[in-house]
Amino acid sequence: MKGVTIGFIGAGNMANSLIRGLLATGVPASSILASDIDLEKLQVLVTNSRISSATNQQIANSADVVILAVKPQVM
């Protein structure tokens, strides 16, 4: 997936698992973005995985693939 930017809206357990899997298969951290309403949770994910944080709008504008990693009741 060279040159593809993947954006995650939501930085909880679901996103964390998917991001770890992507990183384990060789997807560079620089091509993954994440956002979350809980900035503390987002910061933990960004620090642990070395991905970049962004706003929902930034992800929608710049990511080639957007993954909604939030519970249905949060939408």
More confident: 46 or 71: 46
Does residue 1 have a pLDDT over 70?
Answer: no
pLDDT digits (tens, 9 = 90+) for 41-62: 999 999 999 999 999 999 999 9
Give 17-24 contacts, CB < 8 A, sequence gap 24+: 18/67, 18/69, 19/45, 19/49, 19/51, 20/49, 23/49
pTM of the model: 0.92
At the top level of CATH, the class of 6-74 is alpha beta
